[in-house]
C-alpha cells in the first residue's frame, strides 16, 4: 500500500517510550537504552523530514522524569548535551528549525546555552520544524498559559471577554499547528501528560514496540493507518 501524499499528516508527535525496558530485555544498563533511543530518534527525524512532514514533536524528557535516580537523570542530561552538539550542524544544514518546549529553568545553564544558541541559529530555517519536549508537562503548560493571561488581564492588557481558544493558544510553549497524529511506543495506552491542550482531535496510534526498535517501516505503517481514518472533528 502506498502513502497518499494528500493525506500525509502535517504534524506528528511521538512519545519515545520503552527505552529502559528495551535495555533490560537486552541485559544492558538503562542508559544504554537511552543511548539507542537517541540513535533511533535521528533516523526517524530524517525519515519524517524526507517525507515532507512539516512538524515533528518528540517527547524526550517529562517534568515527572526529574524524579528518577540522580544517576539516570545525570546520564540523560549528558547524553542530551552530546546529542545536541553532535547533531545540530546536520539539522542546520538540512534547513530544520529547532524549538524546545518545557520548563527549561530546571535544565543546567550549560545545556540552556546550547539550546538558546541552536534555536537562534535555526530560527530563519524554512524546512521541517523539530520540537523537542524537554522537562515538559502538559498540565504545567496549561497552568503557565493561564497565569500569563491572568497577569495581562490584571494589567489591563486584555479583558476576560477576549479569551477564546485562539487567544489561549498564543500563550502555550510553541506556536505551531496541533498534531494530526500522536504515536506512542512501548505498549502503554495513555498520553502521559503530553500536549493535553493540543491533542483534542489528534489521531492516536499505539504500538508495543519499544522506541529503539521502532523503525522507518513502523513509522510508515502508522502514517498509513492515519490515512485510512476519517477525521470528523465531532461533525
CA 196 – CA 181 distance, rounded (Å): 14
| Owner of C-alpha cell 533511543 | 37
Dmax (CA) for the chain in angstroms is 59
Under a CB-based contact definition with an 8 Å cutoff, are residues 169 and 149 in contact? no
Say how far residue 89 (Cα) sits from the centre of its chain: 20
Is 178 designated active site?
Answer: no
Alpha helices in the chain (DSSP H): 19-25, 30-50, 70-93, 109-122, 138-154, 165-169, 216-228
Helix (H), strand (E) at residue 105: none
Alpha helices in 94-137 (DSSP H): 109-122
Q: Per the residue annotation, which of 42, 46, 65, 144 is the catalytic one?
A: 65
Beta bridge partners of 57: 13, 131
Is 17 designated active site?
Answer: yes
> What's the grid cell of residue 88?
545540530
The catalytic residues are 17, 65
Amino acid at each position: 500500500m502506498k502513502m497518499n501524499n494528500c493525506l500525509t499528516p502535517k504534524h506528528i508527535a511521538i512519545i519515545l517510550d520503552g527505552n529502559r525496558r528495551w535495555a533490560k530485555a537486552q541485559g544492558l544498563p538503562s542508559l544504554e537504552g537511552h543511548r539507542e533511543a537517541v540513535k533511533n530518534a535521528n533516523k526517524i527525524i530524517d525519515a519524517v523530514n524526507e517525507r515532507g512532514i512539516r512538524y515533528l514533536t518528540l517527547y524526550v524528557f517529562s517534568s515527572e522524569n526529574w524524579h528518577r535516580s540522580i544517576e539516570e537523570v545525570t546520564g540523560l542530561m549528558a547524553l542530551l548535551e552530546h546529542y545536541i552538539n553532535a547533531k545540530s550542524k546536520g539539522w542546520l544544514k538540512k534547513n530544520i528549525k529547532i524549538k524546545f518546549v518545557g520548563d527549561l529553568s530546571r535544565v543546567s545553564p550549560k545545556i540552556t546555552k546550547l539550546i538558546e544558541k541552536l534555536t537562534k541559529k535555526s530560527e530563519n530555517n524554512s524546512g521541517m520544524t523539530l520540537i523537542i519536549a524537554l522537562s515538559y508537562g502538559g498540565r504545567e503548560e496549561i497552568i503557565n498559559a493561564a497565569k500569563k493571561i491572568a497577569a495581562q488581564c490584571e494589567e489591563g492588557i486584555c479583558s476576560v471577554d477576549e479569551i477564546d481558544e485562539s487567544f489561549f493558544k498564543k500563550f502555550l510553549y510553541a506556536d505551531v499547528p496541533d498534531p494530526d497524529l500522536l504515536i506512542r511506543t512501548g505498549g502503554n495506552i495513555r498520553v502521559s501528560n503530553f500536549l493535553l491542550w493540543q491533542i483534542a482531535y489528534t489521531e492516536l496510534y499505539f504500538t508495543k514496540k519499544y522506541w529503539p526498535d521502532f523503525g522507518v517501516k513502523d513509522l510508515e505503517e502508522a502514517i498509513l493507518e492515519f490515512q485510512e481514518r476519517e477525521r470528523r472533528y465531532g461533525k
